[in-house]
């Protein structure tokens, strides 16, 4: 729907609009050591996969979740905030969907 727009985010990160042209993705951090493919899966499954597998990467390293359910754009950063993990950046995938990069903090 046209009226959906991203709220301003208190941390100032990734406040880009959900609609309209977006700038070319800038790599926002180091490469992930684990990529979780949740493409085609509806929320909350991408969040469940992230929560279960983040322990496979060492503390301080990056895990990426690929998802194309638009709810993940809200749910992944919100999960990171609730679970005190570090949401690093969001990339737009060329074939649709997004890659969410998270640093394991503990």
Partner 1 sequence: MANSDAPGAYFDAASTEPPHPAARAALLGALDAAWADPARLYGPARAARLTLDQARAKVAGVLGARPDEVSFTGSGTQAVHLAMLGALAARRRAGRHLVVSAVEHSSVLHAAARHERDGGEVTTVGVDRHGRVDAAEFAAALRPDTALACLQSANHEVGTVQPVAEAAEACRALKVPLFVDAAQSVGRAQVPEGWSLLAASAHKWGGPPGVGVLVIRKNTRWRSPLPEDERENRRVPGFENVPGAVAAAAALEAYRAEMAADGPRLSALVDRIRAAVPRAVPDVEVVGDPERRLPHLVTFSCLYVSGEALLTELDRLGFAVSSGSSCTADTLRPSHVLEAMGVITHGNVRVSLPRGAASGDVDRFLAVLPDAVARLRRTAGVSLP
**Active-site residues: which are they?**
43
Measured from the CB atom, is 37 or 52 closer to partner 1?
A: 52
Q: How far is the CB of 44 from partner 1 (least distance, A)?
A: 4
Q: Which stretch binds partner 1 (CB under 8 A): 32-40, 57-65, 69-77, 91-99?
A: 69-77
The reply on whether position 21 binds partner 1 by CB under 8 A is no
Identify the burial level of 23 via C-beta atoms within 10 angstroms of its C-beta, where 0-12 means exposed, 13-18 middle and 19 or more buried.
exposed
Rounded Cα distance, 35 and 50, in Å? 10
Rg of the chain taking only CA atoms, in angstroms: 13
Question: Residue 103 corresponds to which tokens in the numbers above?
Answer: 């640093």
Q: How far is the CB of 31 from partner 1 (least distance, A)?
A: 26
Q: Which stretch binds partner 1 (CB under 8 A): 23-31, 58-66, 73-81, 92-100?
A: 73-81
The torsion angles phi and psi of 92, rounded to 5 degrees, stand at: -95, 125
Nearest to 17 by CA among 73, 101, 99, 57: 73
Binding site for partner 1 (CB under 8 A): 1-10, 18, 42-45, 47-48, 51-52, 55, 69-71, 73-75, 77-79, 81-82
């Amino acid at each position: 729907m046209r009226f959906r727009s991203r709220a301003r985010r208190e941390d100032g990160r990734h406040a880009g609009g959900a609609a309209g042209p977006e700038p070319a993705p800038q790599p926002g951090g180091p490469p992930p050591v684990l990529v979780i493919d949740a493409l085609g899966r509806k929320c909350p499954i991408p969040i469940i996969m992230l929560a279960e597998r983040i322990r496979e990467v060492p503390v301080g390293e990056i895990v990426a979740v690929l998802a194309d359910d638009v709810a993940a754009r809200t749910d992944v950063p919100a999960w990171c905030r609730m679970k005190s993990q570090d949401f690093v950046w969001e990339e737009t995938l060329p074939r649709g969907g997004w890659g969410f990069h998270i640093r394991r903090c503990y």
